[in-house]
Structure 1
């Protein structure tokens, strides 16, 4: 299990990423598309930190991680299929 210092550092990083998502749209040198892309990258980093540390996925055996990644892949596949059916 990670130490209290590690959890606090991750909490600070998560707060900084949350604030940065607001800042991406307020900064004048980023276009709207770049702000959206930066927001998606920040969200992916937050998901990785939350799943890895707060849900203790880093400490689980690798097969549990593979099951979780398979579930994520299936959700993304389903969302892609739904998006395709809406746009066609």
Structure 2
């Protein structure tokens, strides 16, 4: 029960980041020249949200560092396989 305030704060941060992403996406349609800037901002915000979810809601913040490194290794492998699959389609 002690972490209820922490989870609520993380939820508010995630809500704000998602709202910022939606705003960026909505206003990018008006400015075609800012597409890649908006794309980069959305990717950075998405990564920040993923770290917050993994750290707090999946409790990786309180796990041993070795488990976190194992997850990062698995993520890197999944990204490498995804990139390899995207090049094999071409």
Deviation at 1:25, TM superposition (A): 2.2
Deviation at 1:2, TM superposition (A): 6.7
Q: Which structure 1 residue ranges, 5 or more long, are not aligned?
A: none
Following TM superposition, where does structure 1 have runs of at least 4 consecutive aligned residues deviating by more than 2 angstroms? 25-30
Find the aligned partners of 2:26 and 2:53 in 1 and give their Cα distance. 26
**TM (normalized to structure 1)?**
0.87
Q: Which structure 2 residue ranges, 5 or more long, are not aligned?
A: none
**TM (normalized to structure 2)?**
0.85
Find the aligned partners of 1:48 and 1:2 in 2 and give their Cα distance. 22
Q: Do the aligned partners of 1:51 and 1:57 also contact (CA within 8 Å) in 2?
A: yes
* RMSD of equivalent CA atoms: 1.9
